[in-house]
Amino acid sequence: MPKIDNMLAILWMLRSGEKITAKQISEKLEMNIRTVYRYIDTISTSGVPIISEPGHNGGYTLLNNFIEAPLFFDFEEQTSLFHAAVFAEEAGYYGGEALNRAISKLSKYSNQEQETKINQHLTSLEVISRLSSLSIEPFLKELEQAVADGYSVKILYHKSGEKQLNYRLVDPYRIIYWNNKWYVMDFVILGMISVVLE
């Protein structure tokens, strides 16, 4: 794990509000305890108010008002992100892998109480959609890139009620997910068309 990820992980662990020792951090993140001390020193030097309590019952915590800083997601924000991931997966969202990595980081650095509450809310939501036999994820990625970079894409499609396949060069400007279908909005010389991705 890169240095910045490790420091964010330590910061996330300190954010729980409970005292945590360098040994606990080193075990959880599978790193040398001296590395933990260096990272904590670096975090502290950057302006994060870390409280260090020496002794048998010692450990590290963050100053209370820093815990409320907007750098972190509160419970409702975390739950919303988890729910969004569920919806995105069912819609065939093309960024699923990156979204799953982000969700995994949220899970990894949540304390037990946070994780339990989030799981209770997650299990209360289920999204049921018709599953397509063909994954459209690669097409969505390509179309999103075309929209972002402003280039044309050649598509093969059926006109409504026809069996014949048609080719068309499209200049997509937006991808829309509506009513369980993905749409591509396209600029054409004579007006605007929309293509349904199925």
Query: What are the extents of the domains in the chain?
Result: 3-67, 75-123, 137-197
Q: How far apart are CA 20 and CA 60, in angstroms?
A: 5
* Helix (H/G/I), strand (E/B), else coil: 198: coil
Which CATH architecture does the domain made up of 3-67 adopt? Orthogonal Bundle (1.10)
Q: What angle is formed at CA 112 by the lines to CA 106 and CA 113, rounded to 5 degrees?
A: 100
First to last CA, the chain: 39
Q: What is the pLDDT of residue 164?
A: 86
Spatial contact of 62 and 98, defined as CB atoms under 8 Å apart: no
| pTM for this model (two decimals) | 0.48
**How far from 99 is each of 71, 82, 85, CA to CA, in Å?**
19, 9, 7
Q: What is the pLDDT of residue 68?
A: 54
**How far from 61 is each of 24, 39, 79, CA to CA, in Å?**
13, 14, 24
pLDDT in tens, the chain (198 residues): 678 888 888 988 888 778 999 999 999 999 999 999 999 999 988 888 899 998 888 899 988 766 555 556 777 888 888 888 877 777 777 677 787 788 787 777 677 777 787 777 777 666 666 555 457 778 888 888 888 898 888 888 777 788 888 888 888 888 888 877 778 888 764 444 555 555
